[in-house]
Amino acid sequence: MQLAVIGTGYVGLVTGAGLAELNHTVTCMDIDEQKIQALQQGKVPIHEPGLPQLVAKHLGKRLFFTTSLEDAVKSAQAVFLALPTPPDPTGRANTRAIFQVAEQLTRYLKPGTLVITKSTVPVGTTERIAELFQEKNANLHVVANPEFLREGKAVHDFLHPDRIVIGVQSETARNQMQQIYAEFARQGVPILFMDWRSAELTKYAANAYLATRISFINEIARIAEAWSADIEAIRQGIGLDPRIGTHYLYPSLGYGGSCLPKDVKALIWTARDANVTPHLLQAVDTVNHTQRQHFLEKILRWWHNHPSIPRILAIWGAAFKANTDDIREAPILELIPRLLEEGFTLRIHDPVALPNLQKVFGNHQPNLHYIKDMYEALNNACALLIHTEWQIYREANLTEIRKRLRYPVIFDGRNLFPLDQIQKLQFTYFGVGRQWVPATH
């Protein structure tokens, strides 16, 4: 089929390239001219494993890029909206871009075309788009088709979905969606048709549940810490129960990224708007905020107890998780300003996310150094803070870390290192829900 994707960010680009792989002809549109120019030359502006190869495979054959909405959609049979829905200052999802584009589409689309929201949109949005089309006398079908891909595994997730959720309210739309995803149906992927509101709410419920698991394990980690128990043992002890499972049960500095924080907040508003008090969701959000604060306090307390040690800290990782360059809502964005305020010099490394960090903090902060080599970041530093669970950090040579740091102190926000090795090398080690301090310290 002839398809268009509007918004060529993490979701839009993966969706566009993925749909091309499913044998559709796809034009991706974005208002960001630089991004589109780069993509037209085959340069993928985000770090996503497998994406450059997929784009290169289809570019100019079944995959096209443009900044013109009209060109992108004029001969499309279906248009996917992969536009941002960022939080407004109160935490509600801002759907301005969706409605702006929906209105423009009424000028360009042929009657009968499908308009599909891939973006995460609050309950009722699809209905409001349908109302807008009616007001404009545009005979268009609206579909809610939320995306569940994970950054860092986005290509794999798009091409091998666990399920596809589709909110439709017309037989025509249902048939067309079946055609778009015919290849997945052939592979036996469950395709769940439901009403618009249920589809919209499914997406929020999925993310809120994942966030709940993270906040849950982080709260247990704090209890473990207070009782000198080891959260890693506890995590395995509960995760091996098949009713619980091990996914999304890793203690950390709290969840970040462009989805979980904003989607939990937006769902809180969705509940409140319907006069439901979201007790659990509010707690999930609160635990997440305090988690970063709690870890920061550990760092500050240690330095408070060692006032003669220079405040020079190496940081490994800026991305909100491994395998992505995305730093949106990453804990580091809160930690860096607080640590700088507290007089720290920071030497930070990340394999791919430093350019995005530089965009936020600039190049002229005298005490913030972006370091290209992970071991070089340790030079002259008095402790190491681990922020992101990149595999290269997990496999790091602890002896080399010990040799380079001026003091053998690790604040491990991801519990990357086995305690027996930490003990053997006599590190002072503060993890999340576990710690080890040699007797002499």
Residues with catalytic function? 259
Q: Which of 3, 4, 5, 8 lies at the binding interface for ligand NAD (CB under 6 A)?
A: 8
Q: What is the dihedral of CA 90, 92, 93, 97, to 10 degrees?
A: -60
Residues 23-62 that bind ligand NAD (CB under 6 A): 29-32, 35
Contact status, residue 129 vs residue 117, Cβ threshold 8 Å? yes
Instruction: State in Å, rounded, how far the first CA of the chain is from the last one.
Output: 67
Task: Note every long-range contact of 61-65, with CB atoms under 8 Å and residues 24 or more positions apart, other chains counting.
Answer: 61/20, 62/20, 62/23, 62/24, 62/25, 62/26, 63/16, 63/17, 63/20, 63/26, 63/28, 64/25, 64/26, 64/27, 64/28, 65/8, 65/27, 65/28, 65/29, 65/30, 65/36, 65/39, 65/40
Smallest separation, CB 32 to ligand NAD (Å): 4
Map the footprint of ligand NAD across residues 246-275, applying CB under 6 A.
258-259
Pick from 230, 346, 412: nearest CA to 427: 412
Taking the complex as a whole, how short is the minimal distance between the CB of residue 122 and ligand NAD, in angstroms?
10
Q: Of 113 and 120, which CB lies nearer to ligand NAD in the complex structure?
A: 120
The residue sitting closest to ligand NAD, measured at its beta carbon, is: 9
Span of 10-18, 242-250, 377-385, 393-401 interacting with ligand NAD by CB under 6 A: 10-18
Round to whole Å and give the CA distance between 133 and 361. 42
Q: Which of 3, 5, 11, 322 binds ligand NAD (CB under 6 A)?
A: 11
Beta carbons of 412 and 388 less than 8 angstroms apart: no
Residues 338-397 contacting ligand NAD, CB under 6 A? none
Single residue of 3, 4, 5, 7 touching ligand NAD by CB under 6 A: 7
Query: Residue 167 or 433: which CB sits closer to ligand NAD?
Result: 167
In total, the chain counts a number of residues equal to 441
- Among positions 2, 100, 170, 391, the unique one binding ligand NAD when judged by CB under 6 A: 100
Report the site for ligand NAD in 166-225 (rule: CB under 6 A). Answer: none
Stretch of 5-13, 71-79, 219-227, 354-362 contacting ligand NAD, by CB under 6 A: 5-13
Query: Of residues 103-122, which lie at the interface with ligand NAD (CB under 6 A)?
Result: 119-120
Kindly indicate which of the ranges 58-66, 83-91, 358-366, 381-389 contains the residues binding ligand NAD, using the contact rule CB under 6 A. 83-91
Helices 10-21, 51-58: axis angle to 10 degrees equals 50
Which alpha helices (H) appear in 32-145, and where do they start and end?
Answer: 33-40, 51-58, 69-73, 96-108, 125-135
Stretch that binds ligand NAD, among 143-151, 216-224, 380-388, 421-429 (CB under 6 A): 143-151
R_g of the chain, CA atoms, integer Å: 24
Give the binding range for ligand NAD (CB under 6 A) out of 76-84, 306-314, 329-337, 397-405. 76-84
Among positions 3, 4, 10, 211, the unique one binding ligand NAD when judged by CB under 6 A: 10
CA–CA distance, 297 with 303 (Å, rounded to integer):
10
Q: Does 95 bind ligand NAD (CB under 6 A)?
A: no
**Count of other CB atoms within 10 angstroms of residue 402:** 14
Please report whether residue 6 would count as binding ligand NAD according to CB under 6 A: yes
**How many residues contact ligand NAD, by CB under 6 A?**
26
Kindly state whether residue 151 participates in binding ligand NAD, applying the rule CB under 6 A: yes
Comparing CB distances to ligand NAD, the nearer of 140 and 378 is: 140
Give start and end residues of each alpha helix (H) in 74-135: 96-108, 125-135
Q: How far is the CB of 35 from ligand NAD (least distance, A)?
A: 6
List all residues 6 or more positions away from 218 whose beta carbon is below 8 Å from its beta carbon.
251, 252, 254, 287, 288, 291, 432, 433
Residues that bind ligand NAD (CB under 6 A): 6-12, 29-32, 35, 82-85, 97, 100-101, 119-120, 147, 149, 151, 258-259
